[in-house]
Amino acid sequence: MSFNLLDNVFGLSSKALELWQNRSEVLASNIANADTPNYQARDIDFRQALQQASGDSSDLQLSTPTEGQISPSTQSADQLKYRVPLQPSMDGNTVDTQVEQASFASNMVHYQSSLSFINSTIQTLRLAINGGGQS
């Protein structure tokens, strides 16, 4: 079974899972750097990233006909944005631990829900393969 087929089976869930995973890395980095002077907290624009991953972004892509031209997709693939701090701190750090913790928690719940969508698809497939008999 090719991976392309698996992607068709699981639909957007597998892409969403990957994006939640990437976002959790970014948030973990923010939490780890909560006391680093001048550290700028970052986050992923999830809606935009998922739209791009699923290929139905409404943005028109620039074409790169000449060899060696910088592809705009490599730049727009960098979905990391900087967070705007609610209260500026003296050491230039823009991590708000409470915000990061809340984002991390909700991110992990989203990850879990994508995971259970994939899981139920697998179970449905298994049911179809076994013809509803003993699994």
Partner 1 sequence: MSLMKIFDTAGSGMAAESLRLNTVASNLANADSLSSSADSAYKAKELLFAPTQESDGLSDSQDGEVNNGVRMVGVSESQQPVETHYEPGNPMADENGYVYGSNVNPIDELVNMISASRSYQNNVEVMNTTKQLMIKTIDLGS
- 88 to 117: interface string for partner 1, x by CB under 8 A: ---------x---x--xx--x--xx--x--
Q: Is 122 in the site for partner 1 (CB under 8 A)?
A: yes
Q: For 132, which DSSP code?
A: T
Identity (one letter) of the amino acid at 135? S
2: left (phi over 0), alpha (psi -120 to 50) or beta: beta
Rule CB under 8 A: which of 8-67 touch partner 1? 21-22, 24-26, 28-29, 31-37, 39, 42, 44
Give the whole-angstrom CA distance, residue 122 versus residue 115.
11
Q: How far is the CB of 123 from partner 1 (least distance, A)?
A: 8
CA 74 to chain CA centroid, Å, is 16
**Among the candidate windows 1-9, 58-66, 72-80, which touches partner 1 by CB under 8 A?**
72-80
**Which helix (H) or strand (E) covers residue 32, if one does?**
helix 12-32
Helices 97-130 & 3-10, crossing angle to 10 degrees?
A: 110
The residue count for binding partner 1 (CB under 8 A) is 36
Residues forming contacts to partner 1 in the complex (CB under 8 A) are 21-22, 24-26, 28-29, 31-37, 39, 42, 44, 74-75, 77-80, 97, 101, 104-105, 108, 111-112, 115, 118-119, 122-123, 126
